[in-house]
Amino acid sequence: MPVDAEQAWKDLQRIRVPQERVYDEFERSVSGGRRMTYGTAALMWVFLAGVGMDLPQWGLGVFVTAYVGLLSLLIVMSSRRSRMQLHHTRCPGRMWAAFGAAGVLVGGTIVLADHLTEPLEPIYAGLIQATAAVAVYLLSLRPANRWAADSVRSSGEPAADEGAGR
């Protein structure tokens, strides 16, 4: 049975356009949106500035508990609003690598800022550490999300290219 090349190309494009839309939506949902990004950044800044104030041990425990609780609430609220849910097997290693790299980068910034601000008073040192860490978080978030989402987008292309080459 002969295959019409033009019709096959049109069929392929009709299939690819919705697939690209799914990948675009995934890219948008990875970041969680501006509210999630800036909410997390603000919460991180308040936490790091508060920890830098040399709180007593019990105060630090309350502060850490409040931070973890508020961050968990923010994550739950964001995940409920997410329109796109991927099966857990579709989350590639790049997502975990981006998450780990961001943790190392922000943690390294905190340690470096702590070392550099040691001679300052604790409140000023804490404010500088918090500001530097949140700046690094915000500057690295978008490229890390794009890199992680690109792996999902590219994971479907080899199969489509193989079929087009035959």
Give the 3-state secondary structure percentages of the chain, helix then strand then coil, rounded to 5: 85, 0, 15
Q: What is the pLDDT of residue 75?
A: 77
Backbone angles phi, psi at 152, to 5 degrees: -70, -40
Most confident segment among 71-85, 118-132, 144-158 = 118-132
Q: Is the pLDDT of residue 135 over 90?
A: yes
Q: pLDDT (tens digit, 9 = 90+) per residue, 17-28?
A: 666 666 666 666
User: pLDDT tens across 60-119, in order?
Assistant: 899 899 999 998 888 777 766 555 555 444 566 777 788 888 889 989 998 999 899 888
Closest-CA residue to 131 (of 146, 148, 115, 110) = 110
In this structure, are residues 136 and 105 in contact, taking their beta carbons and an 8 Å threshold?
A: yes
Highest mean pLDDT among 30-39, 89-98, 145-154: 30-39
Yes or no: say if 60 and 51 are a contact pair by the CB < 8 Å rule.
Answer: yes
State the average pLDDT over residues 120-143.
88
Cα pseudo-dihedral 98, 99, 105, 111, rounded to 10: -170
Could you tell me which residues come within 8 angstroms of residue 6 by beta carbon, excluding any fewer than 6 positions away? none
Q: What is the mean pLDDT of residues 116-126?
A: 87
Residue pair 41/137 in contact by the 8 Å Cβ criterion: yes
Q: In residues, how long is the chain? A: 166
Say what the pLDDT of residue 22 is.
66
CB 80 within 8 A of CB 122: no
Q: For residue 83, which phi and psi values (nearest 5 degrees)?
A: -85, -20
pTM value surpassing 0.85: no
